[in-house]
Amino acid sequence: MAEHIYPHKHRVARETKEKLLGQKSRVLWFTGLSGSGKSTVANATEYALNNMGVKTYILDGDNIRAGLNKDLGFSPEDRKENIRRITEVSKLFVDSGILALTAFISPYREDRDVAREILGKDFIEVFVKADLSVCEARDPKGLYKKARAGEIKGFTGIDAPYEEPTKPELVIETDRFGINECADQVISYLAEQNIIDKKLII
């Protein structure tokens, strides 16, 4: 921590905010290859939760890089800083009583482990799993094609690694299930863990 920085404790505790909102706050950390469906599943999950009255916010990779992290590139060092910043932002959302959903490739296991360490029990790792061939066939942004042509260097899954989670709280297979089914799996998990009221999904 920088010198002469003295964080203040808030008078309104997180538990008070959660009680006011009628929910528990956590971070759903969606990780997976480009094209695996992270943002799509996160958005479908948020849409369903919103319809249930759950207060949420999505922190999406491209949106964050267009603003808060627009100074960062895609080197391992910049990727690490990207994840560090978004972890700290997620922590703020959790403290506000909001259920945050993050959708980032976050390819390095070590960086996700740091996020887990910072967020503790609030960190829920959701591995959005799809075979590379499926992600490449989808290629919604045309990035795999550019990477194969050598126009993009250090692209995850092609010439940069993606380290799969070893013990994620949840694995969502988007090459086996439809988007709404995937969102339902996430919501069922939240209900099973008493993060959202089970009555909301009956």
Name the catalytic one among 25, 34, 106, 188. Answer: 106
Q: Is 133 noted as a catalytic residue in this protein?
A: no
Residue position matching structure tokens 């994620």: 168
Contacts for 152-155 with beta carbons within 8 Å, 24 or more apart? 154/74, 154/75, 155/34
Number of alpha carbons in the 13 Å side-chain half-sphere of residue 107 = 18
**Would you list the DSSP string of 37-87?**
SHHHHHHHHHHHHHHTT--EEEEEHHHHHHTTTTT--SSHHHHHHHHHHHH
The residues carrying an active-site annotation are 106
